Amino acid sequence: MLLLRRSALVILWVLAGLGVASGAVWAATAAGMIKPLIVISGSMEPGIMTGDLLIATKVDAASLVAGDVVSLDSELTNNLVTHRIVRITPVGDGSFTVTMKGDNNAFEDALDYTITGDVWKPSMQLAGAGTLVSRLSTPAVAIPLMIGLVALLGITLLFPAGTARDEDEDEENDDDAPTDDDSAEDSAASATKELAHA
Confirm whether 41 is a catalytic residue. yes
Q: Which of 7, 22, 41, 190 is catalytic?
A: 41
Asked whether the bond before 122 is cis by omega within 30 degrees of 0, the reply is no
Distance CA 79, CA 77 (A): 5
Distance CA 116, CA 93 (A): 9
Helix 161-176, helix 2-30: angle, nearest 10: 150
> What is the set of active-site residues?
41
